[in-house]
Structure 1
Amino acid sequence: MMASPRRSIVLVSTASAVAVVLAALAVLFGALWFGGGWPPQQIPGLPAPGLLTTAGLPIVRVLHDVCAVATVGTLLAAAALGGGADARREITRAAGPWALAWAATAACTQILTMSDLIGLPVGEAIESGFLPTYSMEVPQGQAFLLVTVLTVVVAIGTSLRVGTLGRVVLLAIAVFAVLPPAYVGHSASAADHNIAISSLMAHIAGVTLWVGGLFALVAHLRRYDAASAAVAVRRFSAVALCCFAIVGASGLVNAWIRLGGVAEVWQTRYGLLVLAKLAALCVLGWFGWRHRRATIATLDGAAAGDGRPGSGPFLRLAAAEAAVMACAIALAVGLSRTPPPRAEASHDQHELLGYVLPPFAPGRLLTEFRPDPILIMAVILIAAGYLVGVWRLARRGEAWPVGQVATAVAGVLVVLYAVAGGLAAYAPALFSAHALQYALVGTAGPALFALGAPLVPLREAAPSAARAAEGRHATALTHPAAATAVYGVPYLLLYVTGLFDWAQSSLAVRLAVLATLAVTGTWFFHVALGLDPLPRVIGPALRTGMLGAAVAVQVWVALVFLAGPRQGQEWYAALALPWAPELGADQRTGALIGPGTSAAVLLALIALLALRRRGARRRAASATAVAEPAETRG
């Protein structure tokens, strides 16, 4: 008796999935064996965690990563890859079980890592009563506890009825949830550990979005009609290209820091595993090239033809690509348990800063370079999106003003210098440098970028993100009072609640604060300047009042610096830099150059609004003067 075609397809798909899982497990244990992570070396006289921990931990970690990838990818498809409202809701709900499985594997990983750390079998480790202490005080325990909490939040959110902005928020939470284990991993003790950690987090985020997006397309392509399928694959192709660049660049940076030299690439087992990952990346790049050359065109042709999605070629190529990705993830897990040849920090670098910082001189603000991979890639992606949008507008015959492009690019360059130049090197060490950095990131750069009217070009480059920025909740933030609060509240929280100390001493908090200042500043100037279309009418006087209120915020910040308590006193005392100025004097300098720079930018914008208002009145008067003689002649 012949099996039905549908049953045959299911059997073939199941067999393929089993083969991929077995191949990934083979790669995992092969990498562990080659890198020295398996079998574990037992030291006589010390307790051993047992087979369940030593064998189960890497397997559970792979399952953890698979669930993370599936959750993020499914939410990416729901938030950004198009489709009708019903399809988006179904895909959002489909992320819920994956998020719950992610939470469960994170909890299991937490217990197994504790067992591995204290050298006791799982049962004895739990009975020891160390779990609460491990979860609240040990970085690895804190990381996986945070992952568990965040993934439960995501699972709950997927069961609610959310719009585009809600899906974007869930996606952001899910992407953030993949980062804590990287933050406390091997890179935390590597040479130049801030760059090592940042590059690893960028690498993992890029991989998760890339692999997860492909998984979501393969799993949910049937929910799309022909036209939506073509749009979804084309959008994902753009996302995958960005992720490919991020993964490649961040991987090279992290590998260079961990290896310490070219010779270690082929002279150490860690380096050879890195080469294997690089080979997998090249293979995946070839898959992406084939998608762009063949399968996307097939989907476009099917959408323009009989209405049936020509998804067969895409699904076959994507399935092979997913198999390579699964093996690459297994290889990455094996690499994470392989000791790098340059595991410890250099003796020349500052213990708290994590890098060598020469004595301050004004010229070094231009000659020093302190890149942060996450911030650099974020800034470059935003600039690329803006320029792509401008190019698409020009291709349609809607040329974007050159002056606006120039000011937007200038704003991007200002922020890029502030987060990667000499100022970024000295900002954690000198209060005055910190104050100037925040002025550039939170005020000067966003103001210039907003003068480029970025929303229209970005809408062309990323329609889904633009829809989120125009939703009901985002519209509420265009109210002048709300937008002004968005600008001022971060400064209040930073200098009144003690958050500043965390921002100086913690890389994660510092990155979050810089990103928050850039986003809130851009949103404020987007509303206050009104060069982009807004859902409400805001008069010139009210816009001037918003900028005046922002000046008041900066005056308040300056007064806090001048008359308030010393900021970050314990942090600067712990740094103990012999060439650093006295904190009180440096804080007064910071009051002048930080809030002073921001206030100068805001006053210049007030003058610009006044000139625009005067010019509008002059043009209106000229139009009236021209119209009156015409009426007289009539």
Structure 2
Amino acid sequence: MSQIALRRSRRQLSAGTARWPAASLLAAALLITLMAAATATLLSGVAVSGQLVDPGALVRWGLPLINALVHLAAMVTLGGLTLCAVVLQPGQPPWQRAAKLSAVAAIAWTLAQAVHLVLVHASIMGSGIGGPGYPALVVQFISGIDLGATLAWAVVLSAVTAALAVMSTTSAGACWAAVAAGAALVPRAGLGHASSAGDHEVTVSALWLHLVGISLWAGALAVLVFAMLGTRDYLGPVVSRFSRIAGWAVVMVVLSGAASAWIRLESPWQLLTTTWGRLLTVKLLAFTALAAAGWWHRRSTIPLVAATGRPNWPFWRLAAVEVLIMAAVVGVSVALGSSSPPIPQARITEGADLAGLPAPWFAGLVTQWSLDPLFLLLAGAGAWVYLSWAMRLRRRGDAWPAVRMVCWLLGMALLVWTTSGGVGVYGRVLFSAHMMQHMMLLSMLPIFIVLGSPLTLALRALPRRQDGTSGPRELLLAVLHARWAQFFAHPVVAALHVPISMAVFYLTPLFELAMRSHVLHVLMMVHFFLVGYLFTNMVIGTDPGPQRPFFPLRLALLLPSMVFHTFFGLFLLSSTSPLGGAFFTGMDLPWTDPVTDQQVGGAVSWAMGELPALVLAMIVATRWTAHDERAQRKRGHTVRLDSMGA
């Protein structure tokens, strides 16, 4: 017993002493971030005193440095919470250390975000901080200017994230806190260097993906080093799980970074001839080094760690180098965000720019594209993951119907066209095109998604975890069994949610707000797709989830949606004043007027609401007939067995 106790005490001592180099690594990362931000800011000339208004050296130098701190704290928060949610085992020392570091980073994020708001206000006003009536000026900045309101939302959402992170004691709690952290990055995406000008819708999505990807990659790696250094147990599975997350994060960073650079640069030579381009070049070189280190991790050190189950010092050294390089990248990114890109103006964002495009009901719906990185990544990842799951079943001898795969792939293609194709481009300025996009997401796309049976495939293909952690399969089952999910999937709730959501959205100021805000517009699209999915899954789905009613009741539950679309379409056809306030009337398009276009949108709503309902009714009737035939054959088989027994 004494030898066992001695070994245990030595292990605890080594773990305790290992935390010191881990903490030193984080401190060094913070110092490198601030130094890189200061150096890049100095070289870019951002901190040079203005000729007309000058808020002072404190604001000029403090703004990029506090911005770097905001980025770093956000990365550590989201990365650490993700580790606690799906990688580390609750109750173990690494999970506790990661949770504590994430909570501290979330609090620092909130405080730094509040200071950032004050510094931005001072920079815009061109005056120092404080003085008579200063609090009233800040309140006016928040309540009367969009930039101030966005910064205030960033403070509120980061504070919510901090509260959830502090209260998190389980994987589920960490998962909800990670979701809040992702939402808190949305205001940051709206203020970034790429989103401040051209193609605002595309660049906001790209920058949000960029921030999330960097957090899941570098932020999670920093927390992993801090939490696992000196721990000899369960290092192999932890590193393997993190490697899969980091792989997807790299894809997010590369795709979003390429989209932002494509919009901001006129030619590749501007990477060398402009200040913004040179900073971007430094960032690209650093990312290349990081990607090379990650590739070496995946190829050499991770298989070694997974095979031995013991800490591998080459892995830790390489991980520490990655953390320090990423810290320098964050500092360069801050200066990049403060500099002016070569193309500061929008290419296609306003209605006047769309006025010269072809008529939307002809070639324009096919030829006009504005790729949204967010939905493009969702569709690509959805197709890749679905096919990999199906191939996994086939490799182990299980079959998966090809018809379901075809339906799913058609759904992913329809998602790309609906969000990035002509209907998405014209949906920014035309009510009719917007209504087509809306009905695609609500009525057409869910049919293909439901027929693909993704939840059934996931539950069959995803492995179970036996060590108490929550993987994708466990999270999916938790959502399916949650009371709130069962409530929204209830047949009556799902049937009534469609007309109620449309009435509330289109007959209130929410419609105009969603058309003026890209973030609200994305939330609107996600909401109506989920509403349509829940309703369609209740009617024709085979995935686990809701308790589906009998076939006659399913047909009856189609009536509320059909009746509403009929009345709503007639309402739009007979309307003489446009919906959406002054949004559509301010477009001044030469080939249509808002009232006529809205009437066309009424016909679109009517047709695209009734036709999918008819398709659903035909599918229900076909399955009802097949079900009765199977029941009749079963009864006949039972009667024959009874007669043979008699």
Q: Is TM-score (shorter-chain normalized) higher than 0.5?
A: yes
Partner of 2:453: 453
Q: Could you report, residue by residue, the CA deviation over 1:48-67 in whole angstroms, capped at 9, with x for unpaired residues?
A: 21222122111111111111
Determine the C-alpha separation between the residues in 2 that align with 1:254 and 1:22. 28
The reply to whether residue 29 of structure 1 matches residue 38 of structure 2 is yes
Q: Tell me the CA shift for residue 20 of structure 1.
A: 3.1
2:139 aligned to which of 132, 135, 138: 132
Letter of the 2:587 counterpart: L
Q: Tell me the CA shift for residue 389 of structure 1.
A: 2.2
Q: How does 1:16-55 map to 2 (within 5 A)?
A: 16-38=25-47, 40-43=48-51, 46-55=52-61
Q: Tell me the CA shift for residue 440 of structure 1.
A: 0.8
The reply to whether residue 463 of structure 1 matches residue 451 of structure 2 is no
Matched position secondary structure for 1:572? coil
Matched position secondary structure for 2:136? coil
Q: Tell me the CA shift for residue 222 of structure 1.
A: 6.8
Q: Tell me the CA shift for residue 260 of structure 1.
A: 1.9
The reply to whether residue 147 of structure 1 matches residue 154 of structure 2 is yes
Determine the C-alpha separation between the residues in 1 that align with 2:422 and 2:134. 51
Instruction: Report the CA distance shift for 1:626/1:502 in structure 2 as closer, same or farther (over 3 A).
Output: same
Determine the C-alpha separation between the residues in 2 that align with 1:93 and 1:353. 51
Matched position secondary structure for 2:71? helix
Say whether the 8 Å CA contact 2:90–2:171 is kept in structure 1: no
Determine the C-alpha separation between the residues in 1 that align with 2:192 and 2:605. 35
Q: Could you report, residue by residue, the CA deviation over 1:583-614 in whole angstroms, capped at 9, with x for unpaired residues?
A: 23322221222342132112211211111111
Matched position secondary structure for 1:29? helix
Partner of 1:101: 108
Say whether the 8 Å CA contact 1:248–1:281 is kept in structure 2: no
Q: Tell me the CA shift for residue 310 of structure 1.
A: 3.4
Q: Could you report, residue by residue, the CA deviation over 1:488-508 in whole angstroms, capped at 9, with x for unpaired residues?
A: 443133112221112222222
Letter of the 1:115 counterpart: A
Instruction: Report the CA distance shift for 1:114/1:579 in structure 2 as closer, same or farther (over 3 A).
Output: same
Structure 2 stretches lacking a partner, 5+ long: 1-12, 463-471
Q: Tell me the CA shift for residue 574 of structure 1.
A: 0.9
CA RMSD of aligned residues (A): 2.8
Q: Could you report, residue by residue, the CA deviation over 1:389-414 in whole angstroms, capped at 9, with x for unpaired residues?
A: 22222223222111111111111211
Instruction: Report the CA distance shift for 1:289/1:356 in structure 2 as closer, same or farther (over 3 A).
Output: farther
Q: Tell me the CA shift for residue 7 of structure 1.
A: 7.4
Deviates more, 1:190-199 or 1:441-450: 190-199
Partner of 1:306: none
Determine the C-alpha separation between the residues in 1 that align with 2:223 and 2:356. 45
State the number of aligned residues: 619
Say whether the 8 Å CA contact 1:566–1:584 is kept in structure 2: yes
The reply to whether residue 254 of structure 1 matches residue 260 of structure 2 is yes
Determine the C-alpha separation between the residues in 1 that align with 2:338 and 2:602. 47
Partner of 1:360: 359
Q: How does 1:382-421 map to 2 (within 5 A)?
A: 382-421=382-421
Say whether the 8 Å CA contact 2:371–2:420 is kept in structure 1: yes
Deviates more, 1:475-484 or 1:370-379: 475-484
Q: Tell me the CA shift for residue 86 of structure 1.
A: 6.8
Say whether the 8 Å CA contact 1:226–1:302 is kept in structure 2: no
Q: Tell me the CA shift for residue 205 of structure 1.
A: 2.5
Say whether the 8 Å CA contact 1:299–1:310 is kept in structure 2: yes
Say whether the 8 Å CA contact 1:387–1:457 is kept in structure 2: no
Letter of the 1:570 counterpart: A
Q: Tell me the CA shift for residue 620 of structure 1.
A: 2.3
Partner of 2:586: 574
Instruction: Report the CA distance shift for 1:260/1:468 in structure 2 as closer, same or farther (over 3 A).
Output: farther
Q: Could you report, residue by residue, the CA deviation over 1:204-244 in whole angstroms, capped at 9, with x for unpaired residues?
A: 222223222223322333799845x4444333322222221
Instruction: Report the CA distance shift for 1:77/1:552 in structure 2 as closer, same or farther (over 3 A).
Output: farther
Q: Could you report, residue by residue, the CA deviation over 1:545-573 in whole angstroms, capped at 9, with x for unpaired residues?
A: 33333333433432442356531241111
Say whether the 8 Å CA contact 1:476–1:482 is kept in structure 2: yes
Instruction: Report the CA distance shift for 1:77/1:538 in structure 2 as closer, same or farther (over 3 A).
Output: farther
Say whether the 8 Å CA contact 2:218–2:322 is kept in structure 1: no
1:492 aligned to which of 503, 510, 513: 503
Instruction: Report the CA distance shift for 1:9/1:157 in structure 2 as closer, same or farther (over 3 A).
Output: closer
Letter of the 2:253 counterpart: V
Say whether the 8 Å CA contact 2:585–2:594 is kept in structure 1: no
Say whether the 8 Å CA contact 2:202–2:373 is kept in structure 1: yes
Matched position secondary structure for 2:130? helix
Determine the C-alpha separation between the residues in 2 that align with 1:516 and 1:569. 22
TM norm structure 1: 0.90
Instruction: Report the CA distance shift for 1:538/1:128 in structure 2 as closer, same or farther (over 3 A).
Output: closer
Instruction: Report the CA distance shift for 1:20/1:213 in structure 2 as closer, same or farther (over 3 A).
Output: closer
Instruction: Report the CA distance shift for 1:144/1:610 in structure 2 as closer, same or farther (over 3 A).
Output: same
Q: Tell me the CA shift for residue 417 of structure 1.
A: 0.7
The reply to whether residue 172 of structure 1 matches residue 163 of structure 2 is no
Say whether the 8 Å CA contact 1:418–1:424 is kept in structure 2: yes
Determine the C-alpha separation between the residues in 1 that align with 2:21 and 2:230. 21
Instruction: Report the CA distance shift for 1:245/1:353 in structure 2 as closer, same or farther (over 3 A).
Output: farther
Say whether the 8 Å CA contact 1:259–1:340 is kept in structure 2: yes
TM norm structure 2: 0.88
Partner of 2:320: 319
Q: Could you report, residue by residue, the CA deviation over 1:315-364 in whole angstroms, capped at 9, with x for unpaired residues?
A: 33222211111111111111111121222335xx5645776751414121
Deviates more, 1:271-280 or 1:377-386: 377-386
Q: Tell me the CA shift for residue 437 of structure 1.
A: 0.8
Letter of the 1:121 counterpart: G
Instruction: Report the CA distance shift for 1:390/1:553 in structure 2 as closer, same or farther (over 3 A).
Output: farther
Say whether the 8 Å CA contact 1:168–1:468 is kept in structure 2: no
Instruction: Report the CA distance shift for 1:556/1:279 in structure 2 as closer, same or farther (over 3 A).
Output: farther
Deviates more, 1:475-484 or 1:253-262: 475-484
Quote the sequence identity (%).
26
Deviates more, 1:99-108 or 1:236-245: 236-245
The reply to whether residue 588 of structure 1 matches residue 599 of structure 2 is yes
The reply to whether residue 432 of structure 1 matches residue 432 of structure 2 is yes
The reply to whether residue 616 of structure 1 matches residue 631 of structure 2 is no
Q: How does 1:63-462 map to 2 (within 5 A)?
A: 63-81=69-87, 83-84=89-90, 92=99, 95-124=102-131, 127=134, 129-160=136-167, 167-221=174-228, 226-227=233-234, 229-303=235-309, 309-310=310-311, 312-345=313-346, 349=348, 351=350, 358-361=357-360, 362-459=362-459, 460=461, 462=472
Matched position secondary structure for 2:584? helix
Say whether the 8 Å CA contact 1:82–1:464 is kept in structure 2: no
Structure 1 stretches lacking a partner, 5+ long: 304-308
Q: Tell me the CA shift for residue 284 of structure 1.
A: 1.5
Partner of 2:640: 629
Instruction: Report the CA distance shift for 1:369/1:629 in structure 2 as closer, same or farther (over 3 A).
Output: same
Partner of 2:512: 501
Instruction: Report the CA distance shift for 1:316/1:529 in structure 2 as closer, same or farther (over 3 A).
Output: farther
Q: Tell me the CA shift for residue 78 of structure 1.
A: 2.5
Q: Tell me the CA shift for residue 167 of structure 1.
A: 4.1
Say whether the 8 Å CA contact 1:428–1:504 is kept in structure 2: yes
Instruction: Report the CA distance shift for 1:441/1:163 in structure 2 as closer, same or farther (over 3 A).
Output: farther
Q: Tell me the CA shift for residue 189 of structure 1.
A: 4.5
Say whether the 8 Å CA contact 1:115–1:121 is kept in structure 2: yes
Say whether the 8 Å CA contact 2:231–2:311 is kept in structure 1: no
Q: Could you report, residue by residue, the CA deviation over 1:36-79 in whole angstroms, capped at 9, with x for unpaired residues?
A: 223x1331xx3421222122111111111111112111221222
Determine the C-alpha separation between the residues in 2 that align with 1:297 and 1:36. 46
2:614 aligned to which of 598, 603, 606: 603
Say whether the 8 Å CA contact 2:154–2:187 is kept in structure 1: yes
